[in-house]
Amino acid sequence: MPARIPIDLKQLEELAAHGLNVREAAGELGVSEVTLITRIGRDPQASEAWRRGRALAKRTKRDATENGSRPAPPEEKPQPVSPVNAVLQAISRGFTSRQEIKEHTGLTYDVINDAIDLLALERGAILMTMDKMGTERYQLRGRG
């Protein structure tokens, strides 16, 4: 088993509290987005640090709105979607093979594989089947 890349959990929580998304936080931490997603999905301490930081960010935004402050104007470009969410969105839109997911999302196969592993193994959110041609197909659990 390869050595785990160290991630400063306090810094992870602070980055989440400042509203950074996973991609941005990974860049600040000096790790890949896939590494951070995997760590948050598998390490309860990292997951809790991320959850606490995101909760603080939401409270801060809510408090600012309630106190009459205006939230910052939205950016011109849309925020990037995490690979796990991108894969879930692609599957829900009918893109059911890795090739279709890659073409729809622009993610690499390695990132797609990690996201599928996380969704299938860790969360039980998707099912994998094989079609007649031997291509793996994915569907959201609970959908026909």
Confidence label for 118 from pLDDT (cuts 50, 70 and 90): confident
Q: pTM (2 decimals)? A: 0.46
- The count of domains in the chain is 2
Same domain, 17 and 62: yes
Residue-by-residue DSSP string for 35-85: HHHHHHHH-HHHHHHHHHHHHHHHHHHHHHHHTTPPPPPPPSSPPPPPHHH
Question: What is the domain range of residue 60?
Answer: 7-70
By C-alpha distance, which of 90, 86, 108 is closest to 100?
90
Q: Residue 44: inside a domain, yes or no?
A: yes
Instruction: For residue 115, give the CATH number of its domain.
Output: 1.10.10.10
Confidence label for 107 from pLDDT (cuts 50, 70 and 90): confident
